[in-house]
Amino acid sequence: MSQGDGMGTTHQLGVPACQVLGLPNATGLTCRRTYSSWAHDNGLPGKVVAELMGHAKIDTTLNVYTQVIDGAKRPAGRQVGSELLMN
């Protein structure tokens, strides 16, 4: 396979892996969104994640790539509620 033919590593490795696992095909965008969302959910500083992803602006990382992970809203709501009730 030659460079620049539109078939990236994610496609070469991801598609067969997804097929074996019975999952929908993963794209490069899927991988970038997963990485950014996981990093955010695990408390990595947004600016660090933006730089690792090659983004000049943190807004790109947070607004385009970072998704809210299932189950993250309820604990966040509890934390805010407990902080408000404590003060």
What is the model's pLDDT at position 20?
A: 87
**Considering the domain boundaries, does residue 4 fall inside one?**
no
Domain count, the chain: 1
**Considering the domain boundaries, does residue 19 fall inside one?**
no
What is the model's pLDDT at position 81?
A: 84
**Considering the domain boundaries, does residue 73 fall inside one?**
yes
What is the model's pLDDT at position 50?
A: 96
What is the model's pLDDT at position 2?
A: 41
**Considering the domain boundaries, does residue 20 fall inside one?**
no
**Considering the domain boundaries, does residue 14 fall inside one?**
no
**Considering the domain boundaries, does residue 36 fall inside one?**
yes
**Considering the domain boundaries, does residue 25 fall inside one?**
no
Show the domain range for 45: 32-87
Stretches where the chain sits below pLDDT 70 are 1-11, 13, 87
Within a 10 A sphere around the Cβ of 38, how many other Cβ atoms?
14
Quote the DSSP letter at residue 57.
Answer: S
**Considering the domain boundaries, does residue 70 fall inside one?**
yes
